[in-house]
Chains A and B, each alone.
Chain A
Amino acid sequence: MYQTVLDAEAGGGSAALRDLHLSAYRFMLQARLLDEKLASLYRAGKIHGGVFLSRGQEALSVSIGVSLRKTDVFSPLIRDSAGRLAFGESILDSLQTCLGSALGPMRGRDGNVHRGRPRDGYLAMISHLGAMISVVNGALFARRFKGITDVVGATCIGDGGTATGSFHEALNQAAVEKLPLVLVVANNQYAYSTPNDREFACADLADRAVGYGVTPHSVDGTDLSACLAVLGRAVAQARAGGGPQLVVASLLRLCGHGEHDDAGYIDPKIKNSPLGRDCLKVAEDILISRQWADATELAQWRNEAVRAIETTVARVQREPAPDPFAEQWTAVSGTDLRETHEELGV
């Protein structure tokens, strides 16, 4: 599909390109509205722990999700609510995790962005940055080991995460094994509060790809059309046997690191530069200017998304919280391998 879209793009537009944009935009919109709901639930004291929003990174993230197939592997990171929805995560999974429902995929054992369904190729991140990349490598390695081809694995990291040893080890490993990995770096200019010039000294993070023997891609992360084209190409190249792809997107996080953070450290000059554009607004402008949608449709999609989110919040808020007395307090799966001392001694 993506090659068709790319061909069509070269030819000046097509129904497929329009549908791809519309689908991507609607996931972006859902993600933004879901984020806004989570922020208000957080401020109302309804969410335990942190809330981490994706504002400003939806165009990049959604482009990963729509470029993957359901049979691929995806390990999203902290600001991938749009990519998660596009890859197939339900709003229900998201809200059950954020609100700590016992019925959700994480059962109150882990929260917020630490969610997934690993058996479906949808991995649940740990907090240590860079650590998921080699896990995606392992999933791709296993698929190849089992003779399954035509698979791509994508994962995301920020500019800060590129400074970890895990990032280096895993990207090198993917290159050595020639795995179909698409590693997406969202350079949102700040690692929490630390600006780029305290994280790395190379001119462009994409330059690093050459050193690993990996194909580089650069993209304006505020531009949905550009993100769809570049991610579509990177995923297609990985699928076609082109080895690992490193995509570096430039954009700005339009919120704090978490909802506890007012992001007062962000330089106003960057906010007012093209990097500070709101990708959702840019996407709306694209749809309107290309006459792929009108204001009535945008409003209708917004209303539909709000309704779906509100309905799901109402449902999840009625679901049971985890019960510490019914909890299985063991971390090993083998029933014959569990420690018995606690039962005897406590």
Chain B
Amino acid sequence: MSITYLEAIREAQAVALRDDPRVFIYGQDVGAFGGAFKATKNLAKEFPGRVFDAPISEDAMVGLAVGAAIEGLRPIIEMQFADFSTAGFNQIVNQAATLFWRTKVPCSLTVRLPFGGTSGSGPFHSQSLETIYAHYPGLIVMTPATVEDAYSMLIAAVAIDDPVIFCEHKFLYYHLKAEALPSEALPIGKARIAREGRDLTIVAYSAMVHEALAAAAELAPEGWQIEVVDLRTVKPLDTDTVMASVARTGRLLCVGEAWPWGGVTAEVIARVASEGFGLLDVPPQRLNAKDTPIPYHPNLWAAHRPTARAIAAAARKMLRL
């Protein structure tokens, strides 16, 4: 028996609903229909009165979740696509993210963002928005790369007292499978060494972890041992694990699917440069999507985001220095 990344997300929500009577799910088409991606399949039937269809009102959806969180509930909001969360942006960054700091009342809610590119999805169904949410104080931003993390981190997200932006990658929904769901997990905020190596560190998160691992496999026959760090959460960012890896390898390449200006990759490089400059043997580099909206056509889309081949090429340049 195997379980997909998407099924893990569905199972995590079933566990949260089963174990905590304060949890409910609110989003577009999440009820009897089971969600646009079927991430809430059968949950409305299994948990009557706990899963609610919302009107197409992202602002009001998040606002309702904040009000419910103030009253002690633990809402899970499903955005149909991460892209549409910008229509609820104000409530996330100005209401949910400021509540605890302003009033001492924690805002325990989870906003699930199906995000990232899939071929043919175009400019408004492909975006990676972890950077803009990480920019705001008060939010936790999770970017699980594995089936196991999708499951255990979503369960953790619902249990956390702070608002969590849970970025689940649509490309991984069906492609990624595991044999079983985990019973243990790394703590939230702790990065994972996805592959050990000694020559160069690639820091990645979410789907880019798999591109980085493929690049590492491509470089292995050439004699290079690449270490891949999976950040798991981009906020808080596990600077210590990154720094320890760079201390071993002396080379840092950061890879993200989001746009290049600012962002997670820039943040990682800024931290390593300011705290660990002496650890670096070559200038740190980063790879991101191109600075345009995300194209529809598969030819353009494949060239828009970092791929294993592009990562391997960037790594080779750094390794020859």
Where the two chains meet, the residues of A that have a C-beta atom closer than 8 Å to any C-beta of B are 105-106, 109-110, 114, 116-119, 123-124, 126-128, 131-143, 145-146, 165-166, 169-170, 172-173, 176, 330-334, 336-341, 344-345
Contacts and interface: CB of A to CB of B under 8 A. Distances in A.
Interface string B152-165: 00000000111000
B218 interface: no
Interface of B: 24, 49, 54-55, 57, 59-73, 75, 90-91, 94-95, 97-103, 105-106, 137-140, 160-162, 187-189, 235-237, 239-240, 271, 274-275
B63 A334 contact: no
A344 B98 contact: no
Given A172-B55, A344-B275, A339 B67 contact: no
Given A166-B63, A341-B237, A173 B94 contact: no
A140 B106 contact: no
B90 A166 contact: yes
Contact of A138 (B65, B100, B160, B237): B65
B239 A340 contact: yes
Contacts, number: 156
Nearest to B91: A131
A182 to B, nearest CB: 15
A128 B90 CA distance: 8
Nearest to B138: A331
Contacts of B105: 118-119
B102 A131 contact: no
Contacts of A166: 59-60, 63, 90
Contacts of B138: 331-332
Given A173-B60, A341-B237, 15 more contacts: A105-B103, A106-B103, A116-B103, A118-B70, A123-B67, A126-B98, A134-B67, A137-B67, A142-B72, A169-B63, A173-B55, A331-B101, A331-B137, A332-B140, A334-B140
A331 B235 CA distance: 12
A179 to B, nearest CB: 9
What 5 pairs between A and B have smallest CB-CB spacing? Answer: A138-B67, A134-B63, A142-B71, A331-B138, A169-B57
A110 B57 CA distance: 28
Residue in B68, B71, B239, B275 with the greatest tally of chain A CB atoms within 10 Å: B71
Contact of B71 (A110, A146, A336): A146
A172 B95 CA distance: 20
A261 to B, nearest CB: 24
A332 B90 CA distance: 18
A339 B235 CA distance: 7
Residue in A119, A134, A165, A166 with the greatest tally of chain B CB atoms within 10 Å: A134
